[in-house]
Amino acid sequence: MSFRESISDRPATIKVGRGPHAGVFCVPKALLCNSSTYFKTALNSAFIEGQTQAINLDDEDPVVFRTYVAWLYQGQLNSQDIERALDDPQNFGQHIAELIVFADKRGITELQNDGISMFLSYIYKNGLATLDAINCIYDMPKSQEMVQLRWLLANEEAWHGRRLERNIDHWHPEYMAQIIKVYKSSLDHARVRMLGNIDAGGAILCNLVHIHQGQGCSSLAKNTYIPAPPPAQEPPKKKQKTSSTTLTVELLDD
């Protein structure tokens, strides 16, 4: 089924989150099933989800799911659109880390690849990932790709960061252990910034952190972090000159 045919397929209803902040999304079934093994299984099953074509994801974040839906239609992640949708653009790295977790959980391989590409592009241009984002990555199942991504993050921290001088009580223990392994490594190339391969087309990074199925990879090239421009400010209004009126009072003698 072509993309044009997919977007005209009957919709499935996905409720995401809990309480007043929950969101309801009506998405063409074909788009969901073509991208995700989870949605393909659920919406074609004999269970209630397949019968009603409705799924409740109360453990997911509506903001993350909205990024997924935008990706379905755009075919890539648009960093500027994502930043504008966030309450605080400084949470961009954390948001992308949560998107990677979501994609892994729901069997959305291409989104996971694109999310990792965007995550690496973001930290390459903005410095180390936040500890919250790192904790997201380290709490994921240890697939081969996630192990390599963890190593990249630890390598960045060990050789190109200075946060170890601060309080490390809230650091993920596996992250700390991996940083120590990097320090103890006697390999000369451990001191090379592996993220520098992004500028060379990213072939090395691509083979390390992406899940491939015999296809060429354009994920790093398409999913590049470009910051959103600051909102336009209205030019200051010119002050209008006010003419002063002189009131003359003439006193008359009786």
User: Can you give the pLDDT at residue 234?
Assistant: 65
Reported confidence tier of residue 231, pLDDT bands at 50, 70, 90: confident
> Could you tell me if 89 and 212 lie in one domain?
yes
> Could you tell me if 39 and 78 lie in one domain?
no
How many angstroms separate the CA atoms of 18 and 141, rounded?
25
The yes-or-no verdict on residue 202 having pLDDT over 80 is no
Q: What is the mean pLDDT of residues 41-66?
A: 97
- Say how many domains are in the chain: 2
> Could you tell me if 43 and 156 lie in one domain?
no
> Could you tell me if 182 and 100 lie in one domain?
yes
Domain limits for position 40:
1-60
> Could you tell me if 90 and 49 lie in one domain?
no
Is 94 part of a structural domain of the chain?
yes
Which amino acid is it at 145? E
Own/partner long-range contacts of 34-38 (Cβ < 8 Å, ≥24 apart): 34/1, 34/6, 35/72, 35/108, 35/110, 35/111, 36/106, 36/107, 36/108, 37/106, 37/107, 38/105, 38/106, 38/107, 38/108
User: Can you give the pLDDT at residue 66?
Assistant: 97
> Could you tell me if 174 and 91 lie in one domain?
yes
- 159 compared with 139, residue with greater pLDDT: 139
Is 167 part of a structural domain of the chain?
yes
Give the predicted TM-score (pTM) of the model.
Answer: 0.83
